[in-house]
Structure 1
């Protein structure tokens, strides 16, 4: 496969420059949101919630909050970039006409979104560690699930950005798909503490494996098997990647 390295790197630079140009909105604000979640939960539940996996509730909660911020912003980066290019700047055609294959175009958008997610995750952990002791069990596990999770959401964001014909469509995609899957994924709780039906349902939710695996990297324990979780995320990413490439290849909603 021929890869236009210059075009690929330029597209990544464009995506990074886009979110760095408004860093207060795209980086600082998400980190602050994660910190505010921590403050609220600490204020409300400090000393009143039982330990989870042998850790204080806020320690259990912190990795989930970080992963949630990473995932949501990876989705927001690729989806907003595409819909702004389509609806406001009308420059998506410039990228489509460039000598770039669907693989290179998709890779550029996904890498840009993953970079933003990883930056937000790193800064969120640094900020939370100023106020809370968060153990680190395995840096390798943290990095693997960070990458797989951010990639998953970047691909979903790409699909949402291509599919949406106006901002209301993208909001609906976020509100009815991304947010429910995130909140039902064990971000705020262990699935051991919920009804059996929802425990079974969580096992079919890739967001659950994303957050549980990331948390496992810090705490060394979790609700699921790491290898099953990683395999689930890899399969989901492969399927979504193939779908995104097909949408680009046929010009779904982007070629007239």
Structure 2
């Protein structure tokens, strides 16, 4: 057994304290205008959250989209031809882009809404409120996860439709596809974040989905040319912001639109800014997040 002199103990303690103190000072992390590491960590958390259950969050929506296409393909075959603005276009080729962007809308909304309402329900929302993340960084992290999930589901759905021969998704213009898919994911991701923050329980979130998101999606021209509608429903359809997202996205594939693409650019652009600002404000004031 080795003896340690009593005189040596204070030196050891002092040395340890000094070393620990110096190490603590060295570990203080300095952030600039943007906490890049924190933002990247939150984004990875959001992506990892839905990728861990990819069978439910990615595979299931893809299967649903392909089932929609299969049912309409069996019902109409190649006989369905449209009139009006889409004169002579095969119905399946008209339907496919609408189903793809509908997948973006639904999955972007579900990603942010489910993430936030689950965090509130499990009282784990402090995990992203306590770190040094600004309201803008929180907004960007959650919306980034929503965009990623929506785009992944859309790309796989489009490839499945094309490779299976259910429809022909030939690209006419690339920029509308990129613009309207991103703005649609931003708007619905922001709506999902607002719904998740506002909802006190899952029933509240289900009400938003069933009475707002689903009706606006299905009545926006996804399955039909809106010009077959009579007044005042035709005017109401033009007031539905989902219509411009779907119409603009479809324009990128078939080169024809029901409305002005410039109008669609303005509507989706302004709504993206306003919805993002609304989420930023809710995080800033801690609406239903801070006691």
Task: Give me the whole-angstrom Cα distance separating, in 2, the residues matched to 1:140 and 1:180.
Answer: 28
- Aligned partner of residue 142 in structure 2, secondary structure: helix
Equivalent of 1:83 in 104, 113, 117: 117
Task: Give me the whole-angstrom Cα distance separating, in 1, the residues matched to 2:270 and 2:176.
Answer: 18
- What is the Cα deviation at residue 46 of structure 1? 2.3
TM-score, normalised to structure 1, is 0.97
Equivalent of 2:68 in 31, 37, 41: 37
Contact 2:186 2:276 in 1 (8 A): no
- Aligned partner of residue 232 in structure 2, secondary structure: helix
Deviations 1:94-144 (A, max 9, x none): 211110000000110001100000011111110000112222111121011
Range that drifts further, 230-239 or 99-108? 230-239
5+ residue gaps, structure 1, are none
- What is the Cα deviation at residue 196 of structure 1? 2.6
Say whether residues 1:249 and 2:284 are aligned partners: yes
Task: Give me the whole-angstrom Cα distance separating, in 2, the residues matched to 1:70 and 1:244.
Answer: 19
Q: Which residue of 2 aligns with 1:232?
A: 267
Task: Give me the whole-angstrom Cα distance separating, in 1, the residues matched to 2:232 and 2:81.
Answer: 23
Runs of 4+ in structure 1 off by over 6 angstroms are none
Task: Give me the whole-angstrom Cα distance separating, in 1, the residues matched to 2:196 and 2:242.
Answer: 20
Task: Give me the whole-angstrom Cα distance separating, in 2, the residues matched to 1:178 and 1:74.
Answer: 11
Q: Which residue of 2 aligns with 1:119?
A: 152
TM-score, normalised to structure 2, is 0.85
- What is the Cα deviation at residue 245 of structure 1? 1.2
- Superposed, 1:91-102 pairs within 5 Å as 91-102=124-135
- What is the Cα deviation at residue 213 of structure 1? 0.5
Task: Give me the whole-angstrom Cα distance separating, in 1, the residues matched to 2:285 and 2:201.
Answer: 20
5+ residue gaps, structure 2, are 1-31
RMSD of Structure 2 on Structure 1 (CA): 1.2
